Amino acid sequence: MAVISMKALLETGVHFGHRTRKWNPRMKPFIFTERNGIHIIDLQQTLNALEHAYALIRDMVASGGTLLFVGTKRQAQETIQTEAERCGMPYVNARWLGGTLTNWRTIRSRIDELTELERRRDTGELERLTKKEALMIGREIERLQQRLGGIREMRALPKLLFVVDVRREEAAVHEANLLRLPVIALVDTNCDPSGIDFVIPSNDDAIRAIKLLAAKVADAVLEGKAMRKDDSADEAADSSAARAERKRVVPEEVVDDADLLGAATLAKLQSGAYDEEQQAQAAAAAAAAPPAAPAAEEAGS
């Protein structure tokens, strides 16, 4: 089943590129034609690329990876936040902070600082400070929340980035390339696709187009999480079954004396005749044995 229909792509204007004079020649393989001075994107390639990206994201999330949503332009900010929160993934929809990926340890320390400031505010510690100091800390909390709020739950570097508008997010793409983190991106006709691992040729300015494609990316994440949950449940069931098998004790088989002894022998044992017969055989054997030789006399006797 297709991830998305060609009709949906057409209705949201995914195929509209930029004016021909603004194009990047490296996008030529993804351009279908030119109409009224505007490049038209080849939607068949968009469809194929989206299906490939969908499977990649789904499998990556199923294996425990994290996808980072990146889109700071005005048309993408709300959609990036909405879809990332819907699928429970980190996102950046305000200004990209230099070193977010390449200097992650420092960024993580800033997130910890935000958490500590919020704790002080919530416990009433700021009330003991002067009004000016409390106001400054409050502003710092707001600033950090705006810049770091989307990645505060991210404990390690992501396995994959999803980017809207690679021209605007050049810094994010550059950091990902330095760390060799794969990048999936919506790439318009005015962009350079050379630094993108998985290009989804698309209009990156129309809000409806961004919403449609970002929603599909979030759907892939949710499907991957469902797969991971199913795998965990199967592993837990297998583990429980294995423990139960180890604990299961096989009862010792009870064997009747009649199955091992003949009927005549069993009758003798029960009547006591078997013991008398054994004693008689022992006495006869002792009588038939030759007498023992006399002990040699001691030397010199």
Expressed in angstroms, the distance from the first to the final Cα of the chain is: 117
pLDDT of 1 strictly over 90: no
How large is the average pLDDT for residues 276-299? Answer: 57
pLDDT of 113 strictly over 80: yes
Q: What is the pLDDT of residues 146-183, one digit of tens each?
A: 999 999 999 999 999 999 999 999 999 999 999 999 99
pLDDT of 259 strictly over 50: yes
pLDDT given at position 230:
78
pLDDT given at position 19:
95
The span from the CA of 214 to the CA of 155, in Å, is: 23
Using pLDDT thresholds of 50, 70 and 90, give the confidence band for residue 244: low
Using pLDDT thresholds of 50, 70 and 90, give the confidence band for residue 127: confident
Decide: helix, strand or coil at residue 40: strand
Q: How many CA atoms lie within 13 A of 266 on its CB side?
A: 8
Using pLDDT thresholds of 50, 70 and 90, give the confidence band for residue 229: confident
What's the full length of the chain, in residues? 301
Q: In percent, how much of the chain has pLDDT > 90?
A: 70
Distant-in-sequence, close-in-space partners of 85: CB < 8 Å, separation ≥ 6: 91
Neighbouring-strand partners of residue 201:
187
pLDDT given at position 299:
44
Least confident of 46-50, 147-151, 245-249: 245-249
pLDDT given at position 29:
95
Q: What is the pLDDT of residues 5-40, one digit of tens each?
A: 999 999 999 999 999 999 999 999 999 999 999 999
DSSP 92: E
What domains sit in the chain, N to C, each tagged with a CATH number? Answer: 6-101+157-232 (3.40.50.10490), 103-154 (1.10.287.610)
pLDDT given at position 300:
47
Helical segments of 98-163, H only? 104-122, 131-148
Residue 93 in tokens: 């929809």
How large is the average pLDDT for residues 217-244? Answer: 79
Average pLDDT, the chain: 87
pLDDT given at position 297:
46
The span from the CA of 84 to the CA of 147, in Å, is: 15
* 186-190: long-range pairs with CB below 8 Å, 24+: 186/210, 186/213, 187/27, 187/30, 188/17, 188/18, 188/27, 189/17, 189/18, 189/22, 189/23, 189/24, 189/27, 189/30, 189/31, 189/39, 189/41, 190/17, 190/18, 190/22, 190/23, 190/24, 190/27
How large is the average pLDDT for residues 112-117? Answer: 94
Residue 2 in tokens: 């297709």
pLDDT given at position 2:
80
Hunting for tokens 């294995």 — which residue is that? 242
Q: What is the pLDDT of residues 178-202, one digit of tens each?
A: 999 999 999 999 999 999 999 999 9
How large is the average pLDDT for residues 100-107? Answer: 96
Question: E strand or H helix at 162, and its extent?
Answer: strand 160-164
The span from the CA of 240 to the CA of 256, in Å, is: 37
pLDDT given at position 213:
98
Distance of CA 23 to the CA centre of its chain: 38
Distant-in-sequence, close-in-space partners of 222: CB < 8 Å, separation ≥ 6: 86, 87
Which is higher by pLDDT, 12 or 296? 12
- Give one word for 37, left, alpha or beta, with left for phi > 0 and alpha for psi -120 to 50: left
Q: What is the pLDDT of residues 79-92, one digit of tens each?
A: 999 999 999 999 99
Using pLDDT thresholds of 50, 70 and 90, give the confidence band for residue 126: confident
